[in-house]
Amino acid sequence: MIAIADSGSTKTDWCLGNSKANSRTVRTGGINPFHQSVDEIKDVIASTLVPQLGEATELTTIYFYGAGCIPEKTNIVKTALTQNFPKANILVESDLLGAARALCGKTAGIACILGTGSNSCSYDGKKITANISPLGYILGDEGSGAVLGKRLAGDFLKHQLPDDLYQDFLKKYDMTPEQILDKVYRQPLANRFLASLTPFLFAHKQRTEIQKLLISSFTDFFTRNVMQYQYHDTLVHFTGSIAFYFQEEVKEAALRLNVPIGKILKSPLEGLMDYHFGV
């Protein structure tokens, strides 16, 4: 049985099976070698994946795509997987390569991730050939949930929102300016907190002020990332919750810049199933 994993820091989605038609998906705890040791990852797999395998515990091949899986860190994940599945052939790759394979298959294209963070690459159908560093939500991550939330929080704190939106924000989140500043500057995982504000943007995305914020953010993503690749003669594809839920605004920003858009998937897992099962 084959296992295909799409992993982030908070959750990992797995496809288990021998074909797309004969497979099932399960979810486990997140795995990120930047933040977890071999033993910690081993325990996550043992406690959350193995019990869901039932009697079919013999995995022959594991394709693992994950956040934090840069070359210097892949061995941490591979070792933890090997300790749970010693007979399996294990391949560990970055979430960006996973996105490229899910979106482009074996065809050249530009693959983008818009989730809590953002990333992009140029892909030749086999490997990543260029990657503009995302730089994180302080210096980069344009178009990401964290940056969208950062702009919204800034507009709220600087009274740039119309009064009705300002009051709606207060009612929804029930936080004082001091509490927001504390979450951003003093509490851990500020990027996740900021990304958690994006449902407010979705709920009010028809408003002119919110449309302006969204289009501006996605325009920044294209101009500072995508347009640094050779994008004119290839399609630009997206995966991630932000890309999926705000796809109208992503497409509008692309149209204004004459950037050709291809697929937009909420999650790369189904595309990875097509890639590895040869659909």
Does residue 180 share a domain with residue 131?
A: yes
Q: Are strands 2-7 and 11-17 parallel, antiparallel or unpaired?
A: antiparallel
The answer to the question of residue 92 being in a domain is no
The answer to the question of residue 260 being in a domain is yes
How many structural domains is the chain composed of? 2
Decide which of 26, 56, 87 is a domain's last residue: 87
The answer to the question of residue 101 being in a domain is no
Range of the domain at 30: 2-87
Q: Are 112 and 120 in contact (CB under 8 A)?
A: yes
Confidence label for 56 from pLDDT (cuts 50, 70 and 90): low
The answer to the question of residue 263 being in a domain is yes
Does residue 200 share a domain with residue 68?
A: no
Decide which of 55, 87, 119 is a domain's last residue: 87
> Tell me, what's the pLDDT at 23?
85
The answer to the question of residue 211 being in a domain is yes
Does residue 158 share a domain with residue 253?
A: yes
Give tens-digit pLDDT for 59-74: 889 999 998 888 899 9
Does residue 175 share a domain with residue 55?
A: no
Q: Please, what is the average pLDDT of the chain?
A: 91
Does residue 174 share a domain with residue 46?
A: no
Does residue 167 share a domain with residue 40?
A: no
The answer to the question of residue 95 being in a domain is no
Confidence label for 279 from pLDDT (cuts 50, 70 and 90): low
The structure tokens listed for 83 are: 């300790």
The answer to the question of residue 273 being in a domain is no
Does residue 134 share a domain with residue 18?
A: no
Does residue 111 share a domain with residue 81?
A: no
Give tens-digit pLDDT for 247-262: 999 999 999 999 999 9
> Tell me, what's the pLDDT at 272?
94
Does residue 80 share a domain with residue 119?
A: no
Does residue 114 share a domain with residue 208?
A: yes
Confidence label for 162 from pLDDT (cuts 50, 70 and 90): very high
The answer to the question of residue 238 being in a domain is yes
Does residue 123 share a domain with residue 53?
A: no
Does residue 200 share a domain with residue 81?
A: no
CATH assignment at residue 66: 3.30.420.40
Decide which of 53, 87, 121 is a domain's last residue: 87
C-alpha 57/C-alpha 51 separation (Å) is 9
- Rounded to two decimals, what is the model's pTM? 0.86
Amino acid at 58: E
